[in-house]
Amino acid sequence: MAEEYTDQQLARIQKMNQLKEMGIDPFGHAYKRTHRSGELRKLYQDKTKEELDAMDVQVAIAGRIMTKRRMGKLGFMHLLDRDGQIQSVVNKRIVGDEVYEIFKLSDLGDIVGIQGKVIKTDSGELSIEAHEYTHLSKALRPLPEKFHGLTDVEERYRRRYLDLIMNENSRNIAIMRPRIIRAIQHYLDGQGMIEVETPILSPILGGANARPFITHHNALDRDFYLRIATELSLKRLIVGGMEGVYEIGRIFRNEGMDPKHNPEFTTVEAYLAYSDLEGMMKLNEELFEAVAMETYGKTDFEYAGHTISLKAPYKRWDMTDAVKEITGVDFRVPMTVEEALNLAKEHHVEVAPHQHSVGNIISLFFDEFCEDKIIQPTFVTGHPIEISPLAKKDEKDPRFTQRFELMICGTEYDNAFTELNDPIDQRERFEKQMELKNLGDDEANEMDTDYVEALEYGLPPTGGIGIGVDRLVMLLTGAESIREVLLFPTMKPID
């Protein structure tokens, strides 16, 4: 087995064995610390060297050795904990010969505990003067080189543990993500909504237009889908009288991977009885503002080369108005599918067989010509009925629905409806979706008879919204790839 190790690993294994010979467990035991580095900086960074000497503050910290240097009988090292790095000074005169030898055996990457006095060095750096030195865990592999780190981006995502050790920005994103999610909960709880959990496994494909992952349930001997949305379960709860519900949960879509898409991702879906599209716009604006203020204390963020303002109100842009403004084509004028297909051909817009409807072609035109024109938060409204199987019809023009998508920098952040609560209309929409499925649309919804039955008991007028949590985290943290904000993104296998 020894030939499998590098020279550096063999040297570390030798030191591990030396620790054993000294009676020290190389992979030690629990350690009671009193502070993390961030707490110490907050408490004592502004104190002078003389003030700290007079205060005689005793603390215990623990962390990974990131730098180490020795000057005779004096050693210096920086320990990394969750908050960042802090220096420790190991003086042979204070800790004694035996402990200093243990310190000398340490390598970069080892984890140690230091109990001692908070000081400032002559250079003014906040430090811990070691009075007790405790070895906690031996690192048998060397860390990546300090100045190069993990330069291979793919490797950073595959070995996230190393990325978190070496990359402060990755640690900050990992810490901020749960705070952002907590802020979402705080806002929705404050609106009187109830957080719930719904099934991940579903026998029926529904709630969104997406290709699913399929798994097999052995006991029932039938296939199930991993959910592509939480929508239909949550609206059942509104039928049941819960009035306002939301779920933050993992969603699974068997689709491509790029900087904005990962096969599993997180959404928050919220449904509020007696609300509508306008109510969802207000909720959307207030939620984004509240989350931004709670987590960062501001509403302006630098993202993708732009300063993005999350302060309400957000622009509204009707889809057909946008297409007319950019291309000159007016899809509000009644037209046949053939006429719409001819317009698509003239403008070099590709239309798949299952997209042969005026509504689908409007959507394709918007995607092709308008999306990339959007920078600041914009509510895109007026979606055609063909691409909105769960949204209520627009009373003024039933070809369109009461729906919006919030877009920022050409990317969709959320999707909201005045929910369709007419069970007869809903059944017809599902039937249309089944026709599309037969034409080869892998993303079409299936007939959910139980959901239609639920609507027949009466769904109150309801507003609903689904927000991509990962994309919101990307915006707030300045990350331009979804894989930066997922601790363990889906990766292609190594050949």
**Phi, psi at residue 478, to the nearest 5°?**
80, 15
Q: pLDDT per position in the chain (495 positions), as tens?
A: 445 899 999 999 999 999 999 999 999 999 999 999 999 999 999 999 999 999 999 999 999 999 999 999 999 999 999 999 999 999 999 999 999 999 999 999 999 999 999 999 999 999 999 999 999 999 999 998 754 555 678 888 999 999 999 999 999 999 999 999 999 999 999 999 999 999 999 999 888 888 999 999 999 999 999 999 999 999 999 999 999 999 999 999 999 999 999 999 999 999 999 999 999 999 999 999 999 999 999 999 999 999 999 999 999 999 999 999 999 999 999 999 999 999 999 999 999 998 999 999 999 999 999 999 999 999 999 999 999 988 999 999 999 999 999 999 999 999 999 999 999 999 998 998 888 888 888 788 889 999 999 999 999 999 999 999 999 999 999 999 999 999 999 998 887
Residue 389 has what pLDDT?
Answer: 86
Residue 449 CA: distances (Å) to CA of 204, 428, 431, 444, 446: 10, 11, 11, 15, 9
Strand partners for 271: 245, 464
Asked if residue 493 has a cis previous peptide bond (ω within 30° of 0), the answer is no
Longest dimension (CA), the chain: 91
What is residue 2's predicted lDDT score, i.e. its pLDDT?
46
Give me the pLDDT at residue 193, please: 98
Q: What per-residue confidence (pLDDT) applies to 149?
A: 52
Contact 467, 414 (CB under 8 A): yes
What's the pLDDT score for residue 442?
A: 79
> What pTM, to 2 d.p., does this model score?
0.93
HEC profile for the chain? Answer: CHHHCCHHHHHHHHHHHHHHHCCCCCECCCCCCCCCHHHHHHHHCCCCHHHHHHHCCEEEEEEEEEEEEEECCEEEEEEEECCEEEEEEEEHHHHCHHHHHHHHCCCCCCEEEEEEEEEECCCCCEEEEEEEEEEEECCCCCCCCCCCCCCCHHHHHHCHHHHHHHCHHHHHHHHHHHHHHHHHHHHHHHCCCEECCCCCEECCCCCCCCCCCEEEECCCCEEEEECCCCHHHHHHHHHCCCCEEEEEEEEECCCCCECCECCEEEEEEEEEECCCHHHHHHHHHHHHHHHHHHHHCCCEEEECCEEEECCCCCEEEEHHHHHHHHHCCCCCCCCCHHHHHHHHHHCCCCCCHHHCCHHHHHHHHHHHHCHHHCCCCEEEECCEHHHCCCECECCCCCCEECEEEEEECCEEEEEEEEECCCHHHHHHHHHHHHHHHHCCCCCCCCCCHHHHHHHHCCCCCEEEEEEEHHHHHHHHHCCCCHHHHCCCCCCCCCC
Structure confidence at residue 433 (pLDDT): 87
Q: In order of start, what are the domains of the chain with their CATH numbers? A: 7-143 (2.40.50.140), 166-314+376-485 (3.30.930.10)
What's the confidence (pLDDT) of residue 379?
98
Residues linked to residue 209 through DSSP beta bridges, in sequence order: none
